Amino acid sequence: MIIERAEVIVTSPNRNFVTLRLQTDEGHVGLGDATLNGRELSVVSYLKDHVVPLLIGKDAHRIEDTWQFLYRSAYWRRGPVTMAAIGAVDMALWDIKGKAAGMPVYQLLGGASRTGLMAYGHASGVDLQALFDSIREHRELGYRSVRVQTGVPGLKAIYGIAAQSVIDGGLERYDHEPARRGAYPAEEDWDTRSYLHHLPTVFEAVRSEFGPDLPLLHDGHHRMTPIQAAKLGKSLEPYDLFWLEDCTPAENQDALRLVRQHTTTPLAIGEIFNTVWDFQTLISEQLIDYVRAASTHFGGISPLKKVMDFAAQYQIKSGCHGPTDISPVGFAAQLHVGLAIHNFGIQEYMQHGERTNATFQQSMTFENGLLHPGDNPGLGVDLDVDEAGKYPYEQAYLPFNRLADGTVHDW
Ligand SMILES: [Mg+2]
CA distances from 186 to 181, 215, 241 (A): 9, 32, 30
Q: What is the pLDDT at residue 49?
A: 98
The per-residue pLDDT for range 236-294, each reduced to its tens digit, is 999 999 999 999 999 999 999 999 999 999 999 999 999 999 999 999 999 999 999 99
Q: What is the count of structural domains for the chain? A: 2
Residue 318 lies in a domain: yes
Whether 298 and 8 have beta carbons less than 8 Å apart is answered as no
Does 121 score more than 80 pLDDT?
yes
Residue 295: closest CA among 283, 279, 307: 307
Same domain, 232 and 129: yes
Query: Which helix (H) or strand (E) covers residue 136, if one does?
Result: helix 128-140
Same domain, 123 and 100: no
Same domain, 86 and 201: no
Share of the chain above pLDDT 90, in %: 90
Residue 299 lies in a domain: yes
Does 231 score more than 90 pLDDT?
yes
Q: How many CA atoms lie within 13 A of 78 on its CB side?
A: 7
Q: What is the pLDDT at residue 157?
A: 77
pLDDT average, residue stretch 124-140: 95
Same domain, 155 and 289: yes
The per-residue pLDDT for range 340-393, each reduced to its tens digit, is 999 999 999 999 999 999 999 999 999 999 999 999 999 999 999 999 999 999
Query: Which helix (H) or strand (E) covers residue 88, if one does?
Result: helix 80-101
How far apart CA 224 and CA 226 sit, in angstroms, is 6
Residue 143 lies in a domain: yes
Say how many Å lie between the CA of residue 221 and the centre of ligand 1.
6
Same domain, 163 and 193: yes
Same domain, 261 and 147: yes
Burial class (CB in 10 A: 0-12, 13-18, 19+), 208: exposed
Say how many Å lie between the CA of residue 194 and the centre of ligand 1.
20
> Residue 272 sits in a domain of what CATH number?
3.20.20.120
Same domain, 133 and 35: no
Residue 392 lies in a domain: no
Same domain, 292 and 362: yes
Same domain, 318 and 366: yes
The gap between the terminal CA atoms of the chain, to the nearest Å, is 45
CA distances from 63 to 79, 154, 335 (A): 20, 52, 19
Say how many Å lie between the CA of residue 5 and the centre of ligand 1.
35
Residue 335 lies in a domain: yes
Residue 404 lies in a domain: no
Last residue of a domain, one of 64, 79, 104: 104
How far apart CA 392 and CA 319 sit, in angstroms, is 32
Burial class (CB in 10 A: 0-12, 13-18, 19+), 102: exposed
Same domain, 180 and 246: yes
Same domain, 222 and 316: yes
CA distances from 28 to 21, 103, 217 (A): 10, 13, 40
Per-position DSSP letters for 155-168, written without gaps between them: -SS-TT-GGGS-EE
Does 310 score more than 60 pLDDT?
yes
Does 164 score more than 50 pLDDT?
no
Last residue of a domain, one of 104, 139, 172: 104
The per-residue pLDDT for range 22-81, each reduced to its tens digit, is 999 999 999 999 999 999 999 999 999 999 999 999 999 999 999 999 999 999 999 999
pLDDT average, residue stretch 135-146: 97
Q: What is the pLDDT at residue 171?
A: 46
| SS3 letters across 219-282 | ECCCCCCHHHHHHHHHHHHHHCCCEEECCCCCCCCCHHHHHHHHCCCCEEECCCCCCHHHHHHH
SS3 84: helix
How far apart CA 339 and CA 39 sit, in angstroms, is 30
Phi, psi for residue 360 in degrees, rounded to 5? -110, 105
Residue 367 lies in a domain: yes
The per-residue pLDDT for range 172-223, each reduced to its tens digit, is 455 545 555 678 888 899 999 999 999 999 999 999 999 999 999 999 999 9
Q: What is the pLDDT at residue 285?
A: 98
Q: What is the pLDDT at residue 169?
A: 46
Last residue of a domain, one of 45, 78, 104: 104
Residues annotated catalytic, as ranges: 159, 221
pTM of the model: 0.96
How far apart CA 404 and CA 152 sit, in angstroms, is 14
How far apart CA 266 and CA 289 sit, in angstroms, is 6
CB atoms within 10 A of CB 114: 14
Band (117; pLDDT cuts 50, 70, 90): very high
SS3 403: coil
Whether 134 and 173 have beta carbons less than 8 Å apart is answered as no
pLDDT average, residue stretch 325-331: 97
Say how many Å lie between the CA of residue 320 and the centre of ligand 1.
10
Q: What is the pLDDT at residue 182?
A: 76
Whether 148 and 218 have beta carbons less than 8 Å apart is answered as yes
Same domain, 64 and 207: no
Does 163 score more than 50 pLDDT?
no
Say how many Å lie between the CA of residue 264 and the centre of ligand 1.
20
The per-residue pLDDT for range 238-250, each reduced to its tens digit, is 999 999 999 999 9
Kindly report whether the peptide bond that precedes residue 13 is cis, defined as omega within 30 degrees of 0: no
Say how many Å lie between the CA of residue 50 and the centre of ligand 1.
30
Q: What is the domain extent for residue 97?
A: 3-104
Q: What is the pLDDT at residue 170?
A: 44
How far apart CA 216 and CA 144 sit, in angstroms, is 10
Band (161; pLDDT cuts 50, 70, 90): confident
How far apart CA 288 and CA 266 sit, in angstroms, is 7
> Residue 89 sits in a domain of what CATH number?
3.30.390.10
Residue 401 lies in a domain: no
